[in-house]
Amino acid sequence: MKAKRGAKSKTGQVRKKAAGKKRTVAKKDAKRKTAARPGAARRRESKAAGRERALRILTTLREAYPRAECALRHRSALELLVATILSAQCTDERVNLVTPDLFRRYPDSEAFAQANHEELEAMVRSTGFFRNKTKSLIGMGRTLRDQFGGEVPDTMEQLLQLRGVARKTANCVLGTWYGKNEGVVVDTHVGRLALRLGLLTSARDDKDAVKIERDLADLFPRESWTYLAHALIQHGRRICQARKPQCAACELAVECPSKNTFG
Ligand code: SF4
């Protein structure tokens, strides 16, 4: 009997040791993952503290970027809508190179509705995903002509009926052209900065645009939403770049849980 008890306790010790080892490995893995994705660690703060920090971030952004605005060149709601559709997976600089000729050739929604597929494709080719973008522009032109009297509508519900228009594009047109803060534009810069600044509470990562928008809208005052997106985009381009953020030169460093976590 004694010998059996000894054997049992020995087995127990071995199991305990193995479990301990597993826990250590899991902890190391978690640490490694967090280190590989700086900013992934959520900041532990109450909602009230989060909103106060968001206001401080907003104040700093207003000081650093007093005139932050949309970088896509446009003179009308239609031009902004077209430029925003073209900006998917493309830089604003590239879109700004393409649009002057495009707007001369297609000055209104009727022109887009009647556009020749091949000709339009050739004009937007350099912005990438040109086949889909061409279909979107022609479809958008037709819906504007057939359902909205040729004008770009000013409500989220109506904008979302246009081909190629999702919330990001609709928010951009509503906020930038119509001055309506319906939501926050979430592009790659906004997603990245929101994650690094510890502003996400429900979004899983910096690609989860719908939840990122909800999290930001919950933290920042409504009247700041359009400005906030433009300012974060400028900060993402100037300082908090994807690969090499310049934390030492960053105006937001004091509020950022990810500062200096990049190797
Ligand atoms: S300190 Fe600034 S540059 Fe560095 S991660 Fe934070 S926001 Fe980006």
Per-residue pLDDT tens digits for 15-69: 666 666 666 555 554 444 444 454 544 557 899 999 999 999 999 999 999 999 9
What is d(CA 202, CA 204) in angstroms, rounded to the nearest whole number? 6
Assess whether pLDDT exceeds 50 at residue 3: no
Same domain, 97 and 155: yes
Does residue 261 belong to any structural domain of this protein?
no
Does residue 247 belong to any structural domain of this protein?
yes
Which one of 17, 31, 154, 168 is the catalytic residue? Answer: 168
| Ligand 1 lined by 252 (C-beta under 6 Å) | yes
Residue type, position 136, single letter = S
Q: Which of 190, 252, 260 to mutate to test the pocket of ligand 1 (most atoms within 8 A of CB)?
A: 252
Does residue 25 belong to any structural domain of this protein?
no
List the CATH number of the domain containing 221: 1.10.1670.10
194, 216 Cβ separation under 8 angstroms: yes
What is d(CA 89, CA 80) in angstroms, rounded to the nearest whole number? 16
Considering only the C-alpha atoms of the chain, give the largest distance between any 2 of them, rounded to a whole number of Å.
95
Token readout for 119 is 């000709």
- pTM for the model stands at 0.82
Same domain, 163 and 85: yes
Same domain, 157 and 211: no
Same domain, 169 and 87: yes
Same domain, 90 and 172: yes
Nearest C-alpha to atom 4 of ligand 1 is from which residue?
247
| Known catalytic membership, residue 28 | no
Q: Which of 256, 260, 261, 262 to mutate to test the pocket of ligand 1 (most atoms within 8 A of CB)?
A: 256
| Number of separate domains in the chain | 2
Same domain, 188 and 172: no
48, 211 Cβ separation under 8 angstroms: no
More confident residue, 75 or 1: 75
Domain encompassing residue 236: 47-66+184-255
Does residue 260 belong to any structural domain of this protein?
no
Same domain, 101 and 123: yes
Residue 244 alpha carbon to ligand 1 centre in Å: 10
Chain-centre distance for alpha carbon 206: 7
What is d(CA 61, CA 204) in angstroms, rounded to the nearest whole number? 25
Does residue 81 belong to any structural domain of this protein?
yes
From 176, 194, 210, give the residue that closes a domain. Answer: 176
Region 148-159: mean pLDDT is 98
Residue-wise pLDDT tens digits, 92-129 = 999 999 999 999 999 999 999 999 999 999 999 999 99
List the CATH number of the domain containing 107: 1.10.340.30
State residue 31's pLDDT score: 46
| Ligand 1 lined by 235 (C-beta under 6 Å) | no
Does residue 262 belong to any structural domain of this protein?
no
Give the burial string for 125-162 (b: 16+ CB within 10 Å, else e): eebeebeebbebbbbbbbbbbeeeeeebbeebeebeeb
Q: What are phi and psi of 40, to 5 degrees?
A: -70, -30
Q: How far is CA 97 from CA 38, 74, 86, 123, 172, in A?
A: 34, 12, 11, 11, 20
Same domain, 171 and 190: no
Does residue 223 belong to any structural domain of this protein?
yes
From 111, 142, 176, give the residue that closes a domain. Answer: 176
From 157, 176, 195, give the residue that closes a domain. Answer: 176
Region 1-7: mean pLDDT is 46
Detail the DSSP E strand segments found in the chain: none
Task: Name the helix (H) or strand (E) containing 58.
Answer: helix 47-64
Does residue 11 belong to any structural domain of this protein?
no
| Ligand 1 lined by 259 (C-beta under 6 Å) | yes
Assess whether pLDDT exceeds 50 at residue 1: no
